[in-house]
Amino acid sequence: MSSEQILIVLATAIASATPLVFAVIGETISERAGVINLSAEGTIMFCAMVGFAAALATGSVWLGFIAAAVVGALIALIVAFNAITLRQSQIAVGFVLALLFSDLSSFLGVPIVRIPGPTVPAFPLPLLSELPIVGRLLFSSDVVVYASYVLIVLTWVFFYRTRAGLTLRAIGEQPNAAFARGADVVRLRYLYTLIGGALMGIAGAAFSLDFKAGWSFRHTGGYGWIALAIVIFGGWNPLRAAFGAYLFGVLQSLASVAQDQFQGVPTQVLNVAPFALMIVFLVFTSAGWLDRLLMHAPAKVRRRVLQALHTAPPAALGKPFVQD
């Protein structure tokens, strides 16, 4: 591959990863507070439809994004009510919502299938886009992409450098201890689940108004499931989750390049391959086998690798909060 080709692959990867970045950061926030929002597949797909429809109706892409965020938060509200107030299984309600809103996007989206609509305008950042290589790679796209960079950094700072972020992590790890120290666990879990849902809604709009502009039947199929997997891959850390999203973007981008190189392999297979690969990688890194494999490595290497790959989920993830 020439350096020009590599640059194209990376640029495509960043573009295709951007919606996923919003989704994985949203899910990470929600799960860090202790609530799994398994509805991602349905939320992203439905909000992609809603965002596009709203932008089409109003002529403003930004109103499209706002509509998608609001609807994403409303779907998350159903999850939160079931999980936090009714203390029901988060998996059950999330799974039902994933299927329900996927189908609802097809049902309500009929009038806007394959209609041309507004898209986010390109906006190369002055000066920064002039930089060699990085300028073309990072700073020559649009506001949505730049917003995703800011979101990653802000979320990391919030998690690890602010008091509120500490509380957020505490209610997902030790809700009773956090409660004893004055945190309103129920209210905060609602808040972060809704914020997470709004970000997933934005992820949907980032598909239909930017990366894969427009709406068609099951437009974002598969991306919700992959976002959930990437959150685990990212060890519930916003930086690593974003890295996972970009890695997935690179896989997809390489798959589209490979279509020219391997004529024998049907394109349809290459389209599914990144999804399968990503999950295989997740399974491999989270499985206990890695420990056994690393037993033979020098202690220093072992510690490093385990630190990099091994993470535990928030201790209270998926469990309803019952005051001691």
Partner 1 sequence: MAVASAPQAHPLAAAYRLVAVVAALVLLMGLVLLVGESPTAVFSALIGGAFGTADQIGRVVNTLTVLLLCSAGLVFTFNAGLYNLGVEGQVTMGAIATTFTLRLLGDVLPAPLAIALSIAAGALGGVGWGLLAGVLKVYGRVSEIFAGLGLNFIAQGAAIYLVFGPWKRPGVASTSGTEPFGEHLWLGTFGRTEATPVGVALALASLLFTIVVMQRTYFGLRLRAVGHNPRAADILGVSSSRHLLGAFALCGVLAGVGGALQVVGNYHRLIPTISGGLGFLGLLVVMLAGFNALFVLPIAFFFSALNVGSLQLPLVLQRVDSSLSGVIQGVLVLAALIGRGLAQRRAGGTA
**C-alpha–C-alpha distance, residues 127 and 258, integer Å:** 34
* Nearest CB to partner 1, comparing residues 181 and 310: 310
- Of the candidates 222, 223, 233, the residue with the CA atom closest to the CA atom of residue 279: 233
Which segment (45-53, 155-163, 284-292, 300-308) binds partner 1 by CB under 8 A?
284-292
Residues 6+ apart with CB under 8 A from 3: none
Instruction: Establish if 312 lies at the interface with partner 1 (CB under 8 A).
Output: no
Beta bridge partners of 122: 142
Instruction: Establish if 150 lies at the interface with partner 1 (CB under 8 A).
Output: no
Instruction: Establish if 232 lies at the interface with partner 1 (CB under 8 A).
Output: yes
Are the beta carbons of 112 and 118 closer than 8 angstroms?
Answer: no
Please tell me the number of Cα atoms within 13 Å of 150 on its side-chain side: 7
Instruction: Establish if 106 lies at the interface with partner 1 (CB under 8 A).
Output: yes
Residue count, binding to partner 1 (CB under 8 A)? 50
Beta bridge partners of 142: 122
Instruction: Establish if 315 lies at the interface with partner 1 (CB under 8 A).
Output: no
Q: Which two tokens stand for residue 147?
A: 């917003």
Cα 315 → chain centroid: 21
Which segment (25-33, 134-142, 183-191, 266-274) binds partner 1 by CB under 8 A?
266-274
Instruction: Establish if 301 lies at the interface with partner 1 (CB under 8 A).
Output: no
Q: Which two tokens stand for residue 217?
A: 């039947």
One of 60, 89, 119, 311 touching partner 1 (CB under 8 A) = 89
Q: Which two tokens stand for residue 146?
A: 């730049």
One of 82, 141, 193, 252 touching partner 1 (CB under 8 A) = 82
* Nearest CB to partner 1, comparing residues 104 and 186: 104
Q: Report which DSSP code applies to 88.
A: -
Each residue 189-218 as x (binds partner 1 by CB under 8 A) or -, in order, gives: ------------------------------
Instruction: Establish if 85 lies at the interface with partner 1 (CB under 8 A).
Output: yes
Instruction: Establish if 110 lies at the interface with partner 1 (CB under 8 A).
Output: yes
Instruction: Establish if 93 lies at the interface with partner 1 (CB under 8 A).
Output: yes
Residues 6+ apart with CB under 8 A from 310: 235, 285, 290
Are the beta carbons of 24 and 244 closer than 8 angstroms?
Answer: yes
Phi, then psi, of 142 in degrees rounded to 5: -135, 175
Instruction: Establish if 77 lies at the interface with partner 1 (CB under 8 A).
Output: no
Site residues (vs partner 1, CB under 8 A): 38, 78, 81-82, 85-89, 91-93, 95-97, 99-104, 106-108, 110, 222, 225, 228-229, 232, 264-266, 268-269, 272-273, 275-276, 279-280, 282-283, 286-289, 318, 320, 322
